[in-house]
Amino acid sequence: MFRFKRNKSMLAFQQRLLIQEQDKYVDFRFNKALVRRLTMLDGAELDSFMRVYRPSHFFTKTAGDYDFRLYIKQALYRFKRGLPPEAWIKEEEPEEE
């Protein structure tokens, strides 16, 4: 009747699955082949760029192809000058109620 521990565990599992799904979608859109083709980076520079300038799931989901590629090119400009990523790209999506 009262399964508080099980319910809490199931909710945590469900949220972990959701986060994994979102991460895989970002990995799918923000992949090494695309970034390498647009930026001409390679090796450790490419890995560093992809780790620091990884966009949020919300931006990845809502941006079209043109805007997404434009973001990568603008991020390359910031990367080459040692500037941090733009804050609005790193923000997560607003909570839906």
Per the structure, the complete domain to which residue 49 belongs is given by 4-90
Query: Would residue 97 count as lying in a domain?
Result: no
Identity at 50, one-letter amino acid code? M
Rounded to two decimals, the pTM is: 0.79
- Residue 75 within a domain: yes
* CA distance linking residue 42 with residue 23, whole number of Å: 22
Structural domain contains residue 55: yes
Summarize the confidence of residues 38-47 as an average pLDDT.
95
Total domains in the chain come to 1
Task: Please say if the pLDDT value at position 65 is more than 70.
Answer: yes
Is 81 inside any structural domain?
yes
Residue 33 lies in a domain: yes
In a domain, 95, yes or no: no
Q: Which residues contact 36 (CB under 8 A, 6 or more apart)?
A: 42, 46
The pLDDT tens digits for 1-39 are: 678 889 899 999 999 999 999 999 999 999 999 999 999
Q: Which of 34, 32, 73, 30 is nearest to 54 (CA)?
A: 30
pLDDT on residue 90? 63
